[in-house]
Amino acid sequence: VRANAIGYGLRTGDEIDRDNLLQYIAPQDLKSYGLIPELVGRLPVLTYLDPLNRKVLRSILTDPKNAIIKQYVRLFEMDNIELKIDEKVFDFIVDRAIEFKLGARGLRSICEMIMLDAMFEVPTSAKKADTFEITLEYAENKISKTQMRKLKVA
C-alpha cells in the first residue's frame, strides 16, 4: 500500500479497501514477506481473487450443467427416486460454507454430509418411496449430527 500514484490513478486514504488488502500487493511486499528475489522475479503477474459471496456460492451450487445439486438429483433418479430439495436448504448449505470458510469446494462436503445417509437408505428401504424431500429441518439435523467443527478453518 506504500506505492505512490499521481494523476488519474491517485487513491486517497479513504478509498483503500481494508477488508481485501491483498489486491494492493506488489513484488516488494513478497520480498519483505520472505520470498527470495529469484522466486519473486519468476512471477510475471501478481493478482488477487475476491472472496466468494453468497450469491456466487449459491450459483455454483445450483446453476452449472454439472452443478452439485444436479448431480445428486441424477444419482437419485438412477434408483427411480425424485429428489426434492427446499430452497431454504440451498441457503443453509451456502451459509455453512461461508461460516466455516470452506469456499466452493466446501459445498460438496456439506452436501455429502446431508445426503450420504439418504443415498444409501432410501433406495434400499422396505417402503421405497417415489420421492424424497430434503427439508431445512432434515439438513440441520444431519449437520448437527456430524463433526462439522472439524471442517472449520482455523
Question: From the first residue on, what is the mean pLDDT of each consecutive set of 10 residues in the chain (154 residues)?
Answer: 58 69 85 91 84 93 95 94 95 94 92 92 80 94 74 49
**Per-residue model confidence (pLDDT) at position 90:** 97
Task: Please indicate, yes or no, if residue 61 is contained in any of the structural domains.
Answer: yes
Whether the CB-CB separation of 82 and 130 falls below 8 Å is answered with yes
Total structural domains within the chain: 2
Query: Is 48 among the domain residues?
Result: no
pLDDT at 148: 56
Residue 25 confidence (pLDDT):
86
Q: Which domain holds residue 127?
A: 54-151
2, part of any domain: no
Query: What are 54's three cell numbers?
Result: 453468497
Least Cα distance to 61 among 118, 116, 108, 114 occurs for: 108
Strand partners, 83: 132
Same domain, 88 and 147: yes
Q: Are residues 129 and 86 in the same domain?
A: yes
Q: Are residues 72 and 132 in the same domain?
A: yes
CATH number at residue 137: 1.10.8.60
Provide φ and ψ at 84, rounded to 5°: -115, 135
Phi/psi class of residue 43: alpha, beta or left (left: φ > 0; alpha: ψ in -120 to 50)? beta
pTM equals 0.71
Residue 66 lies inside a defined structural domain of this protein: yes
Distance CA 109, CA 93 (A): 10
Q: Which amino acid is at 82?
A: E
